[in-house]
């Protein structure tokens, strides 16, 4: 079974449109939207949810000021400096709290209690191209890396059970923990790069990240004709770093029209030059 993860340095590079097009071209595949913070593959794939699950993203701790005897032990022992004394009350700073629950265990008067944070959900859905595993994070929720790991595990399980040949991951933008979780253990990575200074910079950061995992890397330059000089710089960068360039896609307003029509680019304009290039990129990566 092969697994491909498609990454970009930031949103708006066309990564999801390219992933969706790959999904429509793939045979016997499953898709996984690893961009759990701002999932949008569903906008094109229009999934019909058949399984919904909650994902525990950690623990929310509270101190009962009535029970607290101000012994100070929790504040002293919290390694994350998440307990503060404010107006003679011990309170937990939820932005700093890591949910380790040490304070709950050591409080002699049981003034600290915890509840599971269950604001994150993940789904298994049917789409017109195959199954999609995707997720929705609650506002302000963290642990996107763990959620990505969870949904990738599920996608692998389904692929095994159904003898599927390919998993396509739509990765998150950037190099944060969700991107790391998206790359770990994948077979190949495709970087979608746009010709801008930030695109070039992002390509550098991403390739550094991926090379630490020793995973074969490929690239697609999207909208290459909006800045030919920078596209050439990116090509030089790719050659230097031995990253195979799968193809260069011109700026194409049909991407937006296809998204509005909730279609992949190859469904929307099957005979266009862009569709031809994307098909070619897909055949090269298999």
Name 26's Cβ contacts closer than 8 Å, sequence gap at least 6: 129, 130, 166, 168, 282
- Report the number of secondary-structure helices (H) and strands (E) in the chain: 11, 13
Q: Given candidates 30, 39, 44, 63, which one binds ligand SF4 under the rule CB under 6 A? A: 63
Report the residue from 28, 53, 56, 69 that binds ligand SF4 according to the rule CB under 6 A.
69
Residue 286 is encoded by which pair of tokens?
A: 């298999």
The CB-of-62 to ligand SF4 minimum distance in angstroms stands at 10
Q: Does 175 bind ligand SF4 (CB under 6 A)?
A: no
Q: Which of 70, 212, 239, 283 binds ligand SF4 (CB under 6 A)?
A: 70
What gap in Å lies between CA 165 and CA 34, rounded to an integer?
A: 19
Structure token digits, residue 139: 């506002």
Residue with tokens 């390739």: 207
CA distance 206 to 209: 5
The yes or no reply on residue 71 touching ligand SF4 (CB under 6 A) is yes
73 binds ligand SF4 (CB under 6 A): yes
Write the Ramachandran bin of 268: left for phi over 0, alpha for psi from -120 to 50, otherwise beta.
alpha
Among 28, 72, 197, 283, binds ligand SF4 (CB under 6 A): 72
Q: Is 74 in the site for ligand SF4 (CB under 6 A)?
A: yes
- Given the complex with ligand SF4, which of 71 and 245 has the nearer CB atom? 71
In order of 81, 91, 96, 97, 211, the CA distances from 112 in angstroms are 16, 10, 16, 13, 44
Residue placing its CB nearer to ligand SF4 in the complex, 70 or 197: 70
Binding string to ligand SF4 for residues 111 to 150, with x set by CB under 6 A, is what?
A: xx--------------------------------------
Choose one: 21-29, 64-72, 223-231, 237-245; the region binding ligand SF4 (CB under 6 A): 64-72
Please, which of residues 92-111 interact with ligand SF4 by CB under 6 A?
92, 97-103, 107, 109, 111
Q: Any residues with CB less than 8 A from the CB of 240 and at least 6 apart, and which?
A: none
Q: Provide the β-strand partners of residue 2.
A: 166
Q: Which residue in the set 7, 23, 36, 83 belongs to the binding site for ligand SF4 (CB under 6 A)?
A: 83
Residues at the interface with ligand SF4 (CB under 6 A):
61, 63, 68-74, 78, 80, 82-83, 90, 92, 97-103, 107, 109, 111-112
């Amino acid at each position: 079974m092969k697994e491909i993860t498609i990454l970009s340095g930031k949103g708006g590079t066309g990564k999801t449109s390219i992933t969706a097009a790959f999904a429509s071209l793939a045979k016997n595949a499953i898709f996984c939207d690893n961009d759990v913070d701002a999932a949008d593959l569903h906008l094109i794939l229009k999934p019909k949810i058949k399984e919904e699950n909650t994902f525990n993203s950690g623990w929310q701790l509270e101190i009962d000021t009535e029970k607290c005897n101000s012994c100070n032990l929790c504040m002293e022992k919290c390694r994350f400096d998440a307990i503060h004394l404010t107006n003679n009350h011990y309170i937990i700073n939820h932005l700093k709290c890591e949910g380790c629950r040490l304070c709950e265990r050591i409080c002699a008067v049981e003034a600290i209690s915890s509840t599971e944070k269950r604001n994150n959900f993940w789904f298994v859905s049917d789409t017109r191209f195959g199954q999609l595993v995707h997720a929705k994070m609650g506002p302000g929720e963290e642990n996107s890396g763990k959620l990505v790991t969870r949904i990738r595990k599920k996608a692998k399980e389904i692929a095994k059970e159904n003898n599927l040949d390919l998993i396509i991951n739509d990765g998150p933008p950037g190099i944060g923990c969700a991107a790391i979780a998206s790359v770990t253990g994948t077979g190949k990575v495709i970087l979608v790069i746009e010709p801008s200074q930030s695109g070039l910079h992002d390509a550098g950061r991403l390739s550094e990240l991926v090379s630490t995992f020793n995973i074969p890397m490929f690239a697609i330059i999207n909208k290459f004709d909006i800045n030919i000089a920078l596209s050439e710089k990116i090509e030089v960068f790719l050659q230097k770093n031995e990253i195979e360039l799968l193809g260069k896609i011109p700026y194409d307003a049909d991407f937006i029209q296809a998204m509005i029509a909730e279609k992949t680019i190859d469904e929307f304009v099957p005979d266009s030059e862009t569709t031809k290039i994307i098909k070619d990129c897909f055949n090269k990566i298999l």
